[in-house]
Each structure stands twice: as C-alpha cells, then as structure tokens.
Amino acid sequence: MLGVFVYLQRTEPPWYARLWYPLRYSTIVRVHANENHIDPALLAAVIEAESKFNPNAESHAGAVGLMQLTPSTAKGIAAATGGSRFRVSDLTDPDINVRYGAWYLRHLFDRYQENERLALAAYNAGEDNVDRWEREHVGIQFDETRDYVDKVERLRKIYRRAYASQLGY
C-alpha cells in the first residue's frame, strides 16, 4: 500500500492531484489571470501556496484572503486601479482579493521583466529585498522564499495538468 501511495505522489495523475490540490473559484482565477496576462495555473498555484483557497485566511503578518495581501498593499492596489473606498473586509471577498493579487503579480512581472522567479520572490519577500539581491547579484537569499518560488512553480505544473479545462487550456 505504501508503494502505491509513493508512486501516486511521484506521478500525480490528474485525478490524484485533484484530491490533494483542489481548485476553487476557477472562474474568478481564469478571468483575472486573463485580464492581467498571467498563466491561470500560476495564479491558482499562488493561491494554493498562500491560503489553500481559504478566502478567510489570515497570516501572523496581517495578510488576508486567498492571495494573502496585506491591507497596505491592497489599499495601494485599490488606489492604483481606481478604487476609492477600500476596506480591509474587501480582502475576504474572493473576487476582489484575486483581482488585486493578479494585478499585483502583473505589476511584479512588469517590474522584473517577466522573470517569473523574481516576481514570485518579490510577492513572497517584498520588492525591496529582491531589488537589493539584484543589486548585489546574490540571488534569492531567504530559504523560505526560495522554497516558496519552487513550490509555486511545482504547483503550477500540477494545476495546469489537473485542471486544464477549468483554467481554459
């Protein structure tokens, strides 16, 4: 029995991946990914890594919602995108949270010239840290951030394979 479990973990056929990595809010993910020219599987992977698709998730650092946005980041996104009545409670609304998170990811992709690893590192560790690492030519310096980037990239492959039709492939 253990051998079967190990085999399934390594090969992760789509049905097995769907058991371990559910996809919720697929329409919201697909719409906001497309609006921001982001791979929908990558957006789903970030959500899985950040909150496991729990819209009420809160971190010890004060990040909220599916994409774990801090209120200050979200307020800045709201202002940059024409919003004028941002409330912290907005971050538990899946549509608003994913809209803001997808916009922020697009901003990071643009800032780091489409370098996915740097954009994901900035999403996790902050733009100031990534900018410093780039200036110093040292690569990602936080183990947690390196692990996060690797995890999101692995999850993207899983979501693309397991949910191709729901994500619009």
Phi, psi of 113 (to 5 degrees): 50, 50
Please report the pLDDT score of residue 33 as a whole number: 98
Q: One of 12, 35, 48, 50 is an active-site residue; which one?
A: 50
- pLDDT tens figures, 101-160: 999 999 999 999 999 999 999 999 999 999 999 999 999 999 999 999 999 999 999 999
Please report the pLDDT score of residue 83 as a whole number: 78
Please report the pLDDT score of residue 10 as a whole number: 58
**CB of 8 closer than 8 Å to CB of 153:** no
**CB of 139 closer than 8 Å to CB of 133:** yes
Give the architecture-level CATH label for domain 13-162.
Answer: Orthogonal Bundle (1.10)
Please report the pLDDT score of residue 16 as a whole number: 83
Grade residue 85 by pLDDT with cuts at 50, 70 and 90. Answer: confident
3-state SS, residue 64: strand
- Cα–Cα distance measured from residue 120 to residue 109, given in angstroms and rounded to the nearest whole number: 9
Report CA-CA distances (Å) from 154 to 46, 100, 114.
11, 23, 18
Q: Is 50 a catalytic residue?
A: yes
- pLDDT tens figures, 29-83: 999 999 999 999 999 999 999 999 999 999 999 999 999 999 999 999 999 988 7
Residue 2 confidence (pLDDT) above 80: no
Please report the pLDDT score of residue 84 as a whole number: 75
Convert 111-137 to b/e letters by CB count within 10 Å (16 or more is b): ebeeebbbbbbbbbbebebbeebeeee
Does the reported pTM lie above 0.75? yes
Tokens coding 168: 């619009």
Please report the pLDDT score of residue 30 as a whole number: 98
